[in-house]
Chain A
Amino acid sequence: DTGVSQNPRHKITKRGQNVTFRCDPISEHNRLYWYRQTLGQGPEFLTYFQNEAQLEKSRLLSDRFSAERPKGSFSTLEIQRTEQGDSAMYLCASSPGTGYNSPLHFGNGTRLTVT
């Protein structure tokens, strides 16, 4: 399968714990995006990378959230001191690059439940 891969698929954690998710984009895709989706809503932008550079971070993202893409390939999203409001589906997407209107290809997501 050469699609976007996300791990784990599900994560249940207690409030206050730290969690880390991983995303492996489609090979040679330069752009990598993180979105969050709650029930009944569209994907909400969190952050994106062009290769290893983080180009934008949503103002909605608190300081408890951090993302990295150290070698311009896979990416990790860490949430520190989780809160119940962090419960959501975290989607990763990749695209070929800055070419004119490159489609985003999504992974299956990581569903986070904070108890």
Chain B
Amino acid sequence: GENVEQHPSTLSVQEGDSAVIKCTYSDSASNYFPWYKQELGKRPQLIIDIRSNVGEKKDQRIAVTLNKTAKHFSLHITETQPEDSAVYFCAAMENYGGATNKLIFGTGTLLAVQP
């Protein structure tokens, strides 16, 4: 089955700086890679996703890149703001025989944006 590793586990940046979180996955058949943001005591919320036929996707201050050959993908947040502080999870969607299966999550990155 799929295995997702995420680094770093904690990340502290100054307001206005950029933050980068990296993930690797093991199953080359996985074809969908979402990122979730989870604030303390709240539900994980989808912030951006990327499909395996695309190398990069941007949405305002956030972007995700995917390298299928190396089996890694990254989240980039520019011009960070204090409200970006949260735990971020990457995930990979298993894909068996062309049918999507379930999301496997990384262990999370606690991002702290210092004002």
Taking Cβ atoms with an 8 Å cutoff, the residues of A that contact B are: 4, 33, 35, 40-45, 48, 56, 91, 98, 100-109
| Residues B107 and A42 in contact, CB atoms below 8 Å apart | yes
Assuming the A-B contacts A43-B44, A106-B43, are A98 and B99 also in contact, with contact meaning beta carbons closer than 8 angstroms in the complex?
Answer: yes
- Contact code string B38-79 (vs A, CB < 8 Å = 1, else 0): 000011111001010000000000000000000000000000
**Residues of chain A with a CB closer than 8 A to B106's CB:** 42
Q: Complex formed: what's the CA distance from A41 to B109 in Å?
A: 10
- Contacts A33-B103, A44-B105, A101-B100 aside, 18 further interface pairs with beta carbons under 8 A come to A33-B102, A40-B107, A42-B89, A42-B105, A43-B44, A43-B89, A43-B103, A48-B102, A98-B99, A100-B32, A100-B51, A101-B32, A102-B100, A103-B34, A106-B36, A107-B43, A108-B42, A109-B43
**Residues of chain A with a CB closer than 8 A to B93's CB:** 101
**Residues of chain B with a CB closer than 8 A to A100's CB:** 32, 51, 100
Q: How far is the CB of A48 from chain B (nearest CB, A)?
A: 6
26 contacts between A and B (CB under 8 A): A4-B43, A33-B102, A33-B103, A41-B107, A41-B108, A42-B6, A42-B91, A42-B106, A43-B89, A45-B102, A45-B103, A56-B101, A56-B102, A98-B100, A100-B32, A101-B32, A101-B49, A101-B51, A102-B100, A103-B34, A104-B34, A104-B46, A105-B46, A106-B45, A108-B42, A108-B43
**Residues of chain B with a CB closer than 8 A to A91's CB:** 43-44
Q: Which residue of B lies closest to A46 (CB)?
A: B102
Interface residue? B104 (CB, 8 A): yes
| Residues A103 and B105 in contact, CB atoms below 8 Å apart | no
**Residues of chain B with a CB closer than 8 A to A56's CB:** 101-102
Interface residue? B31 (CB, 8 A): yes
Q: Which residue of A lies closest to B106 (CB)?
A: A42
**Residues of chain B with a CB closer than 8 A to A33's CB:** 102-103
**Residues of chain A with a CB closer than 8 A to B101's CB:** 56
- Contact code string B73-115 (vs A, CB < 8 Å = 1, else 0): 0000000000000000101010000011111111110000000
Q: Complex formed: what's the CA distance from A21 to B107 in Å?
A: 25
